[in-house]
Chain A
Amino acid sequence: MTYVADVATLARKDLLLELRAKETLPAMLLFVVSALAIFHFALPAGTSHDAALGLLWVALVFTALLGLTRAFVPEREQGLFDALILAPCDRSAIWLGKAIAVLGFLVAAEIVALPAFAAFFSGIDGRTVAAVALADVGICTVGTLLGAMAVASQARELLLPLLFLPLAVPIVVGGVGASAGAGSRYLLFLLLYDAVFSLLAWASFEYVVAEQ
């Protein structure tokens, strides 16, 4: 129960920081709607629904990347990793609290993005929504771990996309496959990705934040 309380405390802190600063979520919303609008005008008339769905996934992955790039900004700018890792809580709670906060921002962006996609292109079905939900978990768990790794580097803004995008390829494959009608096989694939990478991220965060 202490672990859950620590995670809740840390996630609540990040949500409160965003509520005050209003930096990440507005940027994500503006980005995803703008990207979908650009895709709408860039695609020629008569383009298939599947092609449009592919672009939805591109927009979602890059929107998530925007949120992940901002995720550790307070800790980086104010040296707060030191204060957090000195606390007697399990260090993976820092990762999980941050991942939950980023998930909250991403879901909020998608609540706008999915209706916007339906308005610009065509409606989406339940399978796509399920795929987006499963993909969100993988994006946030893996992306938060990579965000913590990148934040220690001088070239952090360059490093995060370079680390994250290759690992997001299976998410896009699973998401597009599930959205395009291949169904439960791809949803299962996303579920497996979430389970494996969440476990790896949970187990390795301790070593990511430890200074050598």
Chain B
Amino acid sequence: MAHVIRAHGLGKRFGDRRVIAGVDLEVPDGGFLLVTGPNGSGKTTLLRVLARLSAPSAGELELPERHRLGYLGHDPLVYRELTPLENLTLFARLYRVSERGERVGMLLERFGLWDVRHQRVASFSRGMQQRLGLCRVLLHDPALLILDEPTNALDADGLALLDEVLADAQRTRVVATHDPGRVERLATVRLALA
């Protein structure tokens, strides 16, 4: 089976501080990597390395190309002074999404943001911003989806939408959480950081 992520001896240091060390991973196409661990165990650092946002200090790493990744960190990574429609249109242009209008409209509808598409994100609750972050990350239909604590601030409807996204085995998924109960059943590869 083809592997979307392959890592051997992966490590990351910030100066003298070793954050992750000796991580070996093989995540197959359509697989689900669940990364768990307490605060400060290096979950976010590992996900940033897997998202190509941070270069590893040691080891070997094979990943899909940058444009095939979708990354949602602790922040939704959207402009607060723009509207959801403007944010998604901006990123759709940068990701060369074809049929932008339809794709953006479909995601706004799906995540319950269509009625507020002309309102500034700054006026949104944290949960609505997280929904918009999920829209942004799905916009270009990434082959590898990397989500860092994606349940943050989501209400029951938002969590149900997230479950739908995470259950889609058409793409490879990586989720870091300190509360694995919700996604445990989906995981095909598990990594517990100490």
The answer to whether residues A74 and B81 also contact, given A83-B136, A211-B54 and a CB cut-off of 8 A, is yes
Question: Does residue B53 face the partner (Cβ distance < 8 Å to A)?
Answer: yes
Select which of A16, A87, A211 is within 8 A of B95 by beta carbon.
A87
- Residue from the set B48, B77, B96, B120 with the largest chain A CB neighbour count within 10 Å: B77
| Residues 27-65 of B contacting A (Cβ, < 8 Å) | 48, 51-55, 65
Question: Does residue A17 face the partner (Cβ distance < 8 Å to B)?
Answer: yes
The answer to whether residues A88 and B71 also contact, given A74-B79, A74-B81, A80-B77 and a CB cut-off of 8 A, is no
Report the interface size for chain A: residues with CB under 8 A from the other chain.
Answer: 25
Give Cα A210–Cα B48 distance, bound, in whole angstroms: 12
| Residues 173-212 of A contacting B (Cβ, < 8 Å) | 210-212
Report the interface size for chain B: residues with CB under 8 A from the other chain.
Answer: 29
Determine, out of B3-11, B86-94, B164-172, B177-185, the stretch whose residues face the partner at the interface. Answer: B86-94
Give Cα A20–Cα B119 distance, bound, in whole angstroms: 12
Question: Does residue B18 face the partner (Cβ distance < 8 Å to A)?
Answer: no
Which residue of B has the minimal Cβ distance to A211? B54
Question: Does residue A118 face the partner (Cβ distance < 8 Å to B)?
Answer: no
Which residue of A has the minimal Cβ distance to B67? A88
A82 engages B77 (CB within 8 Å): yes
| Residues 81-135 of A contacting B (Cβ, < 8 Å) | 82-89
Chain B 72-87 near chain A by CB (<8 Å), digits 1 or 0 = 0111011111100010
Which residues of chain B come closer than 8 Å to A48, judged between CB atoms? none
The answer to whether residues A86 and B53 also contact, given A2-B96, A20-B120 and a CB cut-off of 8 A, is yes
Which residue of B has the minimal Cβ distance to A212? B55
Which residue of B has the minimal Cβ distance to A17? B81
Question: Does residue B104 face the partner (Cβ distance < 8 Å to A)?
Answer: no
Which residues of chain A come closer than 8 Å to B78, judged between CB atoms? 78, 80, 83
Which residues of chain B come closer than 8 Å to A2, judged between CB atoms? 96
Which residues of chain B come closer than 8 Å to A10, judged between CB atoms? 94
Which residues of chain A come closer than 8 Å to B134, judged between CB atoms? none
Which residues of chain B come closer than 8 Å to A212, judged between CB atoms? 54-55
Give Cα A86–Cα B47 distance, bound, in whole angstroms: 13
Question: Does residue B118 face the partner (Cβ distance < 8 Å to A)?
Answer: no
Which residues of chain B come closer than 8 Å to A85, judged between CB atoms? 53
Interface residues of B (CB under 8 A from A): 48, 51-55, 65-67, 69, 71, 73-75, 77-82, 86, 90-91, 93-96, 120, 136
Interface residues of A (CB under 8 A from B): 2, 5-6, 9-10, 13, 16-17, 20-21, 74, 78-80, 82-89, 210-212
- New contact pairs (4) apart from A79-B73, A82-B73, CB-CB < 8 Å: A21-B81, A82-B71, A83-B91, A211-B53
